[in-house]
Amino acid sequence: MIENNSKGKQIKKVSYTRIPLRLGFEVFGNGEISEKKKKEFTKSIKAFKLISEVFEVKELRACATSAMRNAKNGKAIRDYIEKQTGVSIEIIDGKEEADIIFSNFSDRTEKDDFLVIDVGGGSTEISVFQNNSLVASKSFKLGTIRILQDKVPSTEWDTLESWLKKNIDRKEKFDVIGTGGNINKIHKLLGKKSTEQVKVDELSDLYKELKSLSLEKRITKFKLKPDRADVIIPATKIFLKVCDELKIKELEVPKIGLSDGIIFGLDKKHRSKKK
């Protein structure tokens, strides 16, 4: 739900449902989505559709990212689900994914120069803003599930490093914003208040502690769900890599991402129709 207040337009979540399908574990391993996952995916979309009907949602937009665009049978799965549920899933490329995520920051005026990093299971999207304008954006095949499965291209870390050097003026001061479920969870684990930033030293210390623990101990000590306890380590590694390259000392974590950008986009479209 979109609300207008003194701080501008903000999203108020009236319901949030997360189903960890983890399609990437199959796709980055064998290149396609199994019959079992197809059925689970279909049931999930049916569930989301029912939830949207309960809340009398006027328009539904479903976007699939890295796993679906890399799956050999991604389009066939999409077509099957649409026939079964009536929900059309858009398989968006890395650029559109980045554009949607970063639309959340299109009216950010208090700080002109900033970098947004969104870490997902299959990819990491990075965009650079200067003078409140998007000047560079790229999707990297650096995702948490790819790293866990050792499916990251051997040159991808070097590609990230080279791209940052090319597109970031080290003489300028850039604020860094982290988005995605893992950095949101890290923000919470560190006991941060809603607008409080994460210091990179704190992030580094947490990374070392998480790595020192077994999966079971991570789950127990930090009260993590199993599907978060494994991916949080590679996610932290990606954030630390970018911060190290840019000599950044702290991260902003506004806790907004792809879903928020989709909602803003739908709101913008409907507002333009009313004019």
Domain regions of the chain by residue span: 2-91, 105-257
| pLDDT mean across residues, the chain | 89
pLDDT band at residue 264 using 50, 70 and 90 as cut-offs? confident
State yes or no: pLDDT of 108 exceeds 70. no
Q: Is pLDDT above 60 for 8?
A: no
Which whole number is the average pLDDT over 86-100? 91
Give the DSSP H/E element, type plus range, for residue 194. Answer: none
List of residues 6+ apart from 252 with CB closer than 8 A: 175, 176, 177, 178, 197
Assess contact for 104 and 262: CB atoms under 8 A. Answer: no
Most confident of 106-120, 174-188, 257-271: 174-188
Q: What are the tokens at 37?
A: 């996952």
* CATH top class, domain 2-91: alpha beta
Residue 64, pLDDT > 90, answer yes
Q: Give this prediction's pTM.
A: 0.85
Where does the pLDDT of residue 159 fall: very low under 50, low under 70, confident under 90, or very high at 90 and above? very high
266, 192 contact by CB (below 8 A)? no
pLDDT at 133: 79
Query: Does the pLDDT of residue 1 top 70, yes or no?
Result: no
Mean pLDDT, to the nearest integer, of 160-182? 89
User: pLDDT at residue 132 above 60?
Assistant: yes
Which pLDDT band holds residue 121 (cuts at 50, 70, 90)? very high
Q: What percent of the chain has pLDDT over 70?
A: 93
105-257: same fold as 2-91?
yes
**pLDDT at position 78, please?**
97
Terminal-residue alpha carbon distance, the chain: 20
Residue type, 144: T
**DSSP label at 252?**
B
- CATH fold, domain 105-257, is Nucleotidyltransferase; domain 5 (3.30.420)
Confidence of residue 14 (pLDDT cuts 50, 70, 90): confident
